[in-house]
Amino acid sequence: MKLSQFGTKFCAPTGIVELMDDLGTALNENPDMIFMGGGNPGRIPEAEAIFKARLETVLADPQQLHSLMGIYQSPQGDKVFREQIAGLLKKEFGWDLSERNIAISNGSQSAFFILYNMLAGAMPDGSNRSIHLPLAPEYIGYGDIGLTRDFFTATRPEIELMDNNLFKYHVDFSKLEVTDKTGALCVSRPTNPTGNVLTDREIEHLDEIALAADIPLIIDGAYGLPFPGIIFNDAKPHWNENTVLVLSLSKLGLPGVRTGIIVAREDIVQGYSNANTVVNLACGNLGPTIARELFSSGEILTLSNNLVKPFYKQRAQQAVDWFRAELGSLPYRIHSPEGAIFLWLWFEGLPITSQELYQRLKERGVLVVPGHNFFPGMDASWQHQQECIRVSYAQDGNTVKQGIEIIAEEVAKAYAA
Ligand SMILES: Cc1ncc(COP(=O)(O)O)c(C=O)c1O
């Protein structure tokens, strides 16, 4: 097969392809694998019951069933659903927006593909722009999303060493460089892979920098605010006309329905919707159908705060305790677990690469994600990139505990060799 430039780039096996391949094999074909790899959310029975009840109501009503299955959504997404989202955000946070500030996507991943390529890459005047990540490590799924090369730039973070083998990344504003080649700033909050939650002050500062440079600040809230709210401190949601907030229903427990939500200025939403029509024609109806009532009643927020957040908070603490017990005096550090569904472990001076550690763990039946994949936009010279792994704690407790024991054994072997 003769591939185009697009084909050569997008048909290649990349980090996110390997990760989703592992995820699919582990969850669908080889269930004995201890799955601590991809970002599949855990199962929360009470949340599943809410989604099931909603679906049953729809199935019992021929009109609603027809709307679910037999009708294309409008390009920007179901109008009633968008009104409900805008209404809730306005009421709860005072954000000045209407349904014209909301667009729906088939999962937030596809929204990022369009948004990023709208704002960066080859520009009409022949210049090139990049998306800047003010703090890497960042989400593996951005890495290969750009249509052109050198699509991302990133700033190396400051590292704060904390007590009890913890550490935390901070945006290093002294090194953050925004130029006329920067198309947008983007942060995931909480950050995948680290569970870092950029502070309100960091977000305000990034917002000021983006505004001054006349570029958007994109906040990827897949795990964050206001829903699914997997944040263990009191960070505040952020949006204004210069912010593109990208949300998702996935981490509430609905990754299979593939629904993302974009909250942005009207011209950005309109541009996005036109491009989304070309690529997807329309978005799926299932997510909006299940979630509609949750938005109109505000239950999406209580569900997030009362079920989803406590579930992961407890898991995170438990996983940290298990790691501490198993890793003992080995030279390890854990990123301060502030949100999301992962722990990010740093093994300083690890004699093998993170890829080698991943391979050895895979042979032992444990899937994690090697850390070097999470540095889009950064050259490979920083040894730290080879010393980290991301471990999901979303699966049930016994599975996570077993996985942690095996990880500790393999890390101990690597240091001892
Ligand atoms: C930080 C982050 N952003 C975006 C996504 C994409 O999620 P989805 O396409 O399911 O909305 C993920 C998925 O794991 C993620 O971790």
**pLDDT reported for residue 353:** 96
Q: Are 177 and 50 in contact (CB under 8 A)?
A: no
**pLDDT reported for residue 22:** 77
Q: Which helix (H) or strand (E) holds 122?
A: strand 121-122
**pLDDT reported for residue 161:** 98
Taking CA atoms, 278 is separated from 283, 343, 397, in Å, by: 12, 38, 44
Which tokens in the block code for residue 166? 């913890």
Atom of ligand 1 at shortest range from CA of 259:
11
As annotated, the residues of the chain forming the CATH 3.90.1150.10 domain(s) are: 5-44+303-416
**pLDDT reported for residue 14:** 76
Tokens 């048909």 correspond to: 11
Residue closest by Cα to atom 2 of ligand 1? 222
Query: How many angstroms is it from 301 CA to the middle of ligand 1?
Result: 19
Pocket test for ligand 1, best of 138, 192, 219 (most atoms within 8 A of CB): 192
CATH topology of domain 5-44+303-416: Aspartate Aminotransferase, domain 1 (3.90.1150)
Q: List the pLDDT tens digit at each of the 417 positions of the chain.
A: 999 999 998 888 877 787 777 777 777 777 788 999 888 999 999 999 999 999 999 999 999 999 999 999 988 999 999 999 999 999 999 999 999 999 999 999 999 999 999 999 999 999 999 999 999 999 999 999 999 999 999 999 999 999 999 999 999 999 999 999 999 999 999 999 999 999 999 999 999 999 999 999 999 999 999 999 999 999 999 999 999 999 999 999 999 999 999 999 999 999 999 999 999 999 999 999 999 999 999 999 999 999 999 999 999 999 999 999 999 999 999 999 999 999 999 999 999 999 999 999 999 999 999 999 999 999 999 999 999 999 999 999 999 999 999 999 999 999 998
Q: Which residues line ligand 1 (CB under 6 A)?
A: 39, 107-109, 139, 141, 188, 192, 220, 222, 248, 250, 255, 260
Which tokens in the block code for residue 384? 């730290």
Taking CA atoms, 251 is separated from 52, 87, 121, 234, in Å, by: 16, 22, 30, 19
Query: How many angstroms is it from 222 CA to the middle of ligand 1?
Result: 6
Tokens 């917002």 correspond to: 207
Query: Helix (H) and strand (E) counts for the chain?
Result: 13, 16
The helix/strand/coil state of 178 is coil
Which tokens in the block code for residue 380? 């490979």
Predicted confidence (pLDDT) per residue in 262-313, tens digit: 999 999 999 999 999 999 999 999 999 999 999 999 999 999 999 999 999 9
Cα angle for residues 227, 229, 233 (degrees, 5° grid): 150
**Count of CB atoms situated within 10 Å of the CB of 144:** 16
Distance CA 129, CA 153 (A): 10
Atom of ligand 1 at shortest range from CA of 39:
14
**Model-wide pTM > 0.75:** yes
Atom of ligand 1 at shortest range from CA of 112:
4
pLDDT, mean over the chain: 95
**pLDDT reported for residue 25:** 76
Residue type, 17: V
Query: How many angstroms is it from 416 CA to the middle of ligand 1?
Result: 37
Taking CA atoms, 193 is separated from 197, 241, 393, in Å, by: 11, 27, 12
- Please tell me what DSSP assigns to residue 350: -
Query: How many angstroms is it from 34 CA to the middle of ligand 1?
Result: 21
Taking CA atoms, 2 is separated from 14, 166, 197, in Å, by: 19, 50, 44
The helix/strand/coil state of 248 is strand
Q: Which helix (H) or strand (E) holds 354?
A: helix 354-363
Torsion, Cα 208 378 116 267, to 10 degrees, reads: 10
Residue closest by Cα to atom 16 of ligand 1? 192
* Nearest alpha carbon to residue 389 among 402, 372, 408, 403: 372
Query: How many angstroms is it from 225 CA to the middle of ligand 1?
Result: 14
Q: Are 332 and 388 in contact (CB under 8 A)?
A: no
The helix/strand/coil state of 185 is strand
**pLDDT reported for residue 32:** 84
Q: Are 133 and 376 in contact (CB under 8 A)?
A: yes
- Reported as half-sphere exposure (CB side, CA atoms, 13 A), residue 138 has a value of 31
CATH of domain 48-299: 3.40.640.10
As annotated, the residues of the chain forming the CATH 3.40.640.10 domain(s) are: 48-299
**pLDDT reported for residue 19:** 74
**Which residues make Cβ contacts (< 8 Å) with residue 72, sequence separation at least 6?**
281, 282
